[in-house]
Amino acid sequence: MVRRIRRKYWKPSSLTWLSSVVPLGMGVFIATEPVHGLASWTQAVSSMAGDVSPYLLINMGLVGIGLRGAQE
Instruction: Rounding to the nearest 10 degrees, give the CA dihedral for residues 6, 7, 8, 13.
Output: 120
58, 24 Cβ separation under 8 angstroms: yes
pLDDT grade for 5, boundaries at 50, 70 and 90: low
**pLDDT tens per residue across span 45-66:** 999 999 999 999 999 999 988 8
Q: Cα separations (Å) of 1 from 7, 66, 68, 69?
A: 10, 17, 18, 15
Helix (H, G, I), strand (E, B) or coil at 49: coil
pTM: 0.84
